[in-house]
Amino acid sequence: MKLLITGAGGQLGREWVDFCKDHGVSYNSFSSTELDITDDDKVDKIIADEAPDVLINCAAYTKVDDAEENKQTALKINAESVKELADVCKRHNVKLVHYSTDYVFSGSISDKENNPEGYKEEDSTDPVNAYGYSKLKGEEAIKNSGCEFLILRVSWLCGQYGHNFIKTMLKLGSERDELNVVNDQFGSPTFADQVVEQTFELLQQNKTGLYHLSSEGITTWHHFSKEIFKQKGINVNVNPVSSAEFPTKAKRPFFSKLSTQKISNVDGVPILDWKAGLQRLLKQL
Specify the pLDDT at position 215. Answer: 97
Q: Out of 27, 131, 133, 211, which one is annotated catalytic?
A: 131
Specify the pLDDT at position 77. Answer: 98
Specify the pLDDT at position 50. Answer: 95
In angstroms, the CA 219 to CA 32 distance is 33
In angstroms, the CA 278 to CA 70 distance is 33
Closest to 280 measured CA to CA, from 257, 62, 255, 271: 271
For the question of residue 103 being annotated catalytic, the response is no
Domain boundaries, the chain: 2-163+188-216+257-272
For the domain 2-163+188-216+257-272, what is the CATH superfamily, name and number?
Answer: NAD(P)-binding Rossmann-like Domain (3.40.50.720)
Specify the pLDDT at position 189. Answer: 97
**Whether the model pTM is above 0.85:** yes
Specify the pLDDT at position 191. Answer: 97
Specify the pLDDT at position 38. Answer: 96
Percentages (nearest 5) of helix, strand, coil residues in the chain: 45, 20, 35
pLDDT in tens, the chain (285 residues): 999 999 999 999 999 999 999 999 999 999 999 999 999 999 999 999 999 999 999 999 999 999 999 999 999 999 999 999 999 999 999 999 999 999 999 999 899 999 999 999 999 999 999 999 999 999 999 999 999 999 999 999 999 999 999 999 999 999 999 999 999 999 999 999 999 999 999 999 999 999 999 999 999 999 999 999 999 999 999 999 999 998 999 999 999 999 999 999 999 898 999 999 999 999 999
Specify the pLDDT at position 22. Answer: 97
In angstroms, the CA 231 to CA 245 distance is 27
Q: Is 171 exposed, middle or buried (0-12, 13-18, 19+ CB in 10 A)?
A: exposed
